[in-house]
Every structure is written in C-alpha cells, then in structure tokens.
Structure 1
Amino acid sequence: MNRTHLPGILAMAAIVVASNILVQFLFGQWLTWGAFTYPLAFLVTDVMNRVYGPGPARRVVFAGFVVGVICSLIGTQIMGEFGPLVTLRIAIGSGLAFLTAQLLDVAIFDRLREGRWWRAPLASTLIGSSVDTALFFTIAFSASLSFIEPANDVSWAAEVLPLLGVGPMVPLWVSLALADWLVKLLLALVALVPFRIIVGALTGRTT
C-alpha cells in the first residue's frame, strides 16, 4: 500500500464509523443522520479512482468493508431498547451492500474515466447508490427474507403505510429505502463540487 493512499483509507474508515454511529439517530420520519454521511464513501472511492486508479480505489473499499464488519460486530454486543443495535440481517445487508455497490462504482468509473470529468463520478455513484439501497433494505427488512434470521422480528418494517406519507400503500421499509435513495441521488450531484476541487488539488488539473 502506497503511503499516499493512507488519507483515502482514513477518510473511508471515518465515514464508515460515523455512519454506523449516526444511523442510530433519526432525522425526521424516514431518515437517520447516517443517510447524510454514508454517501460520502462514494466520493472517497471516486477521488481515489481518478487520482490513483482502480486498484488503489478497491483497496480503500476493502479497508472500509473491514471497518464496517468491525463496527457490526461491536454493534451486535450493544443492547438497545429492542435488542442488539445490529442484527444479523442488518450486518449481512450492510456488508454485502457496501462491498457490492462500492466495487461496482469502481468498475463503472474506470470504464467511463475518459469521458467528460463529471460523467464517471456521477454515473458510477448513481448506479452504485441505487444498488446499495436496494440490497441493504431488501436484505435487512423484507419479509420474504425473514429466513435469514427467523428470531429477529422485523414485522414493524412490514407495516403498510402510504409511501413517504403521501403515496400508494407500501411496506414501511420501502418508504425508508426510497427516502435513503433520494438523499443519495441529491448528494451524488452535490459531491461533484468537492470531487473536482479535491482532484484538482491532488493532480494540479481541473478534471
């Protein structure tokens, strides 16, 4: 591992740790504070990919995955009001979603790196974020996957309510997933600004 990659590893680790903590605190009815920090992981991956290439970007992803696994293991030992803060389904969903989405982000970015400066980070983040949200919420809360952890009662997530309080009737977890996805899409656009600034500072270029 090149010493120049260390800031990326530390940034990814900080984001993963912060997100695991902030996910415990609600923001409104459909979100947690972690929804606003976790998408920054895609920014770190994309900066590493642009500046150092896909290999170092993948190593940063794997470092973040290891940190995430450690956070999940710690969370399983901390008891909240309704049981462990991190259940088996949440741990599996979180780890699988992170690794799949981030590696997909790296691959898509690398395929598009020769295009306009914004195309690779925007496309890779949008697709990666969508996969991340779909995998995590389906694995963690869908009633069809209750066999993963039969003792874990997630019936609260299956409560049928209007989508985001105003749409058609859907399970609660679908509204949570949609709200999370919309935040990711918004931050994917906002992150283009720091992406260009950081890449420019590291490479001396504006693209």
Structure 2
Amino acid sequence: MTRAHIPGILAMAAIVVASNILVQFLFGQWLTWGAFTYPFAFLVTDLMNRIYGAQAARKVVLAGFIVGIICSLIGTRIVGEFGPLVTLRIALGSGLAFLLAQLLDVSIFSALREGRWWRAPLLSTLVGSSVDTALFFTVAFSASLVWLEPSNDVGWANEVLPLLGTGPAAPLWMSLALADWMVKLSLALIALIPFRLISERFKATQVSR
C-alpha cells in the first residue's frame, strides 16, 4: 500500500460503515437507506482500478472487507427488538457477497479496460452488483439454507407474497433482492458521471506534472 491508495481505502471504509448503519433504516416497503450508499463501493473499486491498476483495487477491496467484518462483529453484539442486529447468516452473506462481487468487478474491469471508457466500469459493476445481490439475499434469507443458522428464524423473509406487491407469488426476500438489484443497476449508470470526471481529472493532473 502507498500513500496514493489511502483516499480510496478511506472512501471504501466510509461507504461500508455508512451502509452498515443505514441498512437499519427502512426506505419504503422494500428497501433500506443502505441500498443507496453501498453501490458506490463499486465506483471506488473501479476508480482505483482505472487510476492505479488491479492490484491497488484489490487492496482497497480487502480493506473494505476487513471493515465489513468489524461492523458485523459489532452488530452481533447489539441487541435490538427482535434480537441481534446482525445474525450469523447476514454476516456470512454480507462478507461473501462483498468479497466475491468486488473481486469479480476487478477482474472484469481489468479485462475490458482497453475498450471504450464506459464499458469496463459499467459491465463490471453490473455483473458484480448482480452477484452481490443474489449471493447476499440467498445466504442471509433463503429457507433452503436454514441449516447455516438453525436458531435464526427467517420465516418472515420467506412469507409468500406478490413480487414487489404486484408480480407473481414469491418469498418476501426475493422482492427485497429485486428492489435492491434495481437500485444497484440505476446507480451503476449514475456512477459513470463521477467515474468519468474523476478519472479524467486525475489524467489531466498527471499530464501537467
């Protein structure tokens, strides 16, 4: 790690901490406020990859993963109305989803980095976000994985309801996952703007030196 990587590490840490806090607060029926902050982790990873390369991006991912573990450990110690704020399944799903999705993002970005400027950040984020959502919600709430934490009652998340209130019948957690995924995809498009501005500004700074 070099001093140049510190801003990326701090940004990733701030996003992970903020998301772990904001996930406790609902936004509408299907989302939490954390759904709007967490996707920017992909922006940080992609900027580090574009500016400093894949190795630097992986270091930032590792830093975010460690911060996430710390947040999960703290969450398991805080007991809310319905038990610990973070269960074993949520901690496991969160950690696995973050690490695998972010590392996949780094690999895809690196493979596409020589193409059009938007292709690498957009496609790597879309694939990474999809894997992140699918893995987290499946591990954390699917009834088929109840053996991971038998003492954790996830019956509420498996109540069969219309998908997003209007679609075919599906477990509640699938509506939560779909809503989360849609936010990630929307923010992946929006994040192209700061990605372009920041990467171009860094390039101009390097040329002027």
1:20 maps to 2:54:
no
Q: Secondary structure at the match of 2:93?
A: helix
Please name the residue that 2:138 is paired with.
138
Paired residue secondary structure (2:170): strand
Q: Secondary structure at the match of 1:170?
A: strand
Quote the offset at 1:124 in angstroms. Answer: 0.1
Q: 1:202 Cα deviation (Å)?
A: 1.4
Give the partner amino acid of 1:151: S
Residues 34-85 of structure 1: per-residue CA shift (max 9 Å, x gap): 0000000000000000000000000000000000000000000000110000
Q: Does 1:69 align with 2:69?
A: yes
Q: Percent of counterpart pairs with the same letter?
A: 78
Q: TM (normalized to structure 1)?
A: 0.98
Give me the whole-angstrom Cα distance separating, in 2, the residues matched to 1:151 and 1:53: 43
Give the letter aligned to residue 75 of structure 1: G
Residue matched to 1:110? 110
The 5 Å alignment of 1:1-207 reads 1-204=1-204
Q: Secondary structure at the match of 1:204?
A: helix
Aligned amino acid, residue 92 of structure 2: I
Distance in 2 separating the partners of 1:127 and 1:204: 30
**Which AA in structure 2 matches 1:188?**
A
How many angstroms apart in 2 are the aligned matches of 1:144 and 1:65? 26
Q: Which amino acid aligns with 2:37?
A: T
Rounded Cα–Cα distance in structure 1 between residues aligned with 2:181 and 2:81: 27
- In structure 2, C-alpha distance between the alignment counterparts of 1:131 and 1:124, rounded to whole Å: 11
2 CA distance for matches of 1:77 and 1:201? 43
- 1:98 is paired with a residue of what secondary structure? helix
Q: What's the Cα RMSD here?
A: 0.6
Alpha-carbon displacement from aligned partner over 1:104-141 (angstroms, at most 9, x marks no partner): 00000000000000000000000000000000000000
One-letter code of the match for 1:63? A
Post-superposition offset of 1:32: 0.1
Structure 2 residue matching 1:48: 3-state secondary structure: helix
Aligned-pair CA distance for 1:204: 1.3
Runs of 4+ in 1 over 4 A off after TM superposition: none
Structure 1 unaligned residues grouped into runs of 5+: none
TM-score (norm. length: structure 2)? 0.97
Q: What secondary structure, in the 3-state scheme, does the structure 2 residue paired with 1:152 have?
A: coil
Displacement of 1:203: 1.7
Size of the aligned set, in residue pairs, is: 205
Q: 2 CA distance for matches of 1:167 and 1:202? A: 45
The offset of 1:24, in angstroms, is 0.1
